[in-house]
């Protein structure tokens, strides 16, 4: 990336903005492919050039990158997978890709996009580029330690979360006393957490101590769809009376990290970064 140009395919949320800010600080000119009704318009204030496209276009965005001399591209931010069922406006090139795909799962679609970029000598690179400081190391990130019951719930939930991640269903489960309360699907992590809280509030006198477990895919491709948490995750946990968040170390981006940790500590929420290669649980803590 010595030419100091970097492309960005920007989905929803703060992730694309965080990337553009860091890239700009490091002297890079950021050229952004944005999507109407999805990408945060704030991206325009921190990027060299932004162009909006309909979701599903491929030819025009690739042309935009080529015209601006962009050779490396990062994909950041959420694009609702449910869009493939009605809000997609594919051009001819995209239509051909979708026709060829045997599966419409997120990873299959993203790999196909990467292949198309490569045909035009554009490389899709690690989504954590310039944001490596937001990938947590293993350990307890907040002041409150988990209880022994919660540690047992992490171990239980981790196995289930990895299984649904392998099947490309979702990355998050909510657990209490070794019972799965909710599983993430197309609705996303925040809604999965809120739904667990609603279920428990209707059916239990003790809705507290829900454990949220969010993992990376077993063979996580670091170029796209990294697990992301942020202050909104903590807000969803507060509304659900969830008191522990377990995330995967080295593979989960924590956006607005100071705000995220401050809000977690203020609300006595434990946040634990787990290294699954070690998965050692002792005295209410994990490494």
pTM of the model: 0.86
**pLDDT at 95 (0 to 100):** 77
C-alpha–C-alpha distance, residues 127 and 132, integer Å = 9
Tens-place pLDDT, residues 197-219 = 998 877 665 656 899 999 999 98
Least Cα distance to 94 among 71, 62, 141, 51 occurs for 62
**pLDDT at 287 (0 to 100):** 39
Tens-place pLDDT, residues 105-138 = 667 777 888 888 899 999 999 999 999 999 999 9
Q: What percent of the chain has pLDDT over 70?
A: 89
**pLDDT at 259 (0 to 100):** 97
- pLDDT bucket at 1, cuts 50 / 70 / 90: very low
Question: What domains are defined for the chain?
Answer: 5-124 (3.40.50.20), 135-286 (3.40.140.80)
Tens-place pLDDT, residues 229-239 = 999 999 999 99
Residue 258 pLDDT greater than 80, yes or no? yes
114 or 9: which leads in pLDDT: 9
Least Cα distance to 222 among 15, 28, 76, 4 occurs for 76
Range in 16-25, 56-65, 88-97 with the lowest mean pLDDT = 88-97
225 or 89: which leads in pLDDT: 225
**pLDDT at 277 (0 to 100):** 77
Query: What 3-state class would DSSP assign to 274?
Result: strand
C-alpha–C-alpha distance, residues 93 and 96, integer Å = 5
Cα Rg of the chain, angstroms: 20
Mean pLDDT, the chain, whole residue set = 88
**pLDDT at 85 (0 to 100):** 39
Tens-place pLDDT, residues 146-159 = 999 999 999 999 99
Residue 11 pLDDT greater than 70, yes or no? yes
Q: Do 97 and 146 contact (CB within 8 A), yes or no?
A: no
């Amino acid at each position: 990336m010595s030419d100091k140009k970097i492309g960005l395919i920007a989905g929803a949320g703060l992730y694309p903005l965080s990337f553009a800010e860091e890239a700009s600080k490091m002297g890079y000119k950021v050229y952004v492919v944005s999507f109407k009704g999805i990408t945060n318009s704030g991206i325009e204030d921190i990027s060299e050039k932004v162009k909006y496209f309909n979701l599903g276009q491929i030819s025009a965005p690739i042309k935009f990158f080529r015209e601006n001399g962009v050779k490396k591209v990062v994909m950041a931010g959420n694009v609702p997978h449910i869009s493939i069922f009605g809000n997609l406006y594919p051009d001819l090139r995209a239509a051909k890709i979708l026709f060829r795909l045997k599966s419409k799962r997120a990873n299959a679609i993203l790999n196909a996009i990467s292949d198309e970029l490569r045909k035009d000598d554009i490389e899709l690179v690690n989504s954590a580029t310039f944001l490596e400081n937001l990938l947590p190391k293993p350990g307890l990130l907040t002041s409150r330690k988990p209880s022994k019951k919660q540690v047992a719930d992490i171990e239980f939930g981790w196995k289930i979360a990895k299984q649904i991640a392998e099947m490309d269903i979702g990355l998050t489960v909510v657990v209490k006393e070794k019972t799965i309360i909710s599983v993430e699907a197309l609705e996303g992590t925040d809604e999965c957490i809120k739904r667990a809280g609603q279920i428990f509030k209707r059916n239990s006198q003790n809705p507290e101590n829900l454990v949220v477990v969010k993992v990376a895919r077993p063979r996580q491709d670091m170029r796209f769809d990294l697990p992301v948490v942020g202050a909104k995750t903590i807000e969803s946990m507060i509304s659900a009376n969830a008191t522990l968040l377990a995330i995967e170390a080295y593979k989960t981006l924590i956006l607005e990290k100071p705000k995220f940790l401050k809000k977690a500590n203020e609300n006595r929420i434990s946040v634990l970064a787990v290294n699954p290669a070690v998965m050692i649980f002792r005295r209410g803590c994990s490494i």
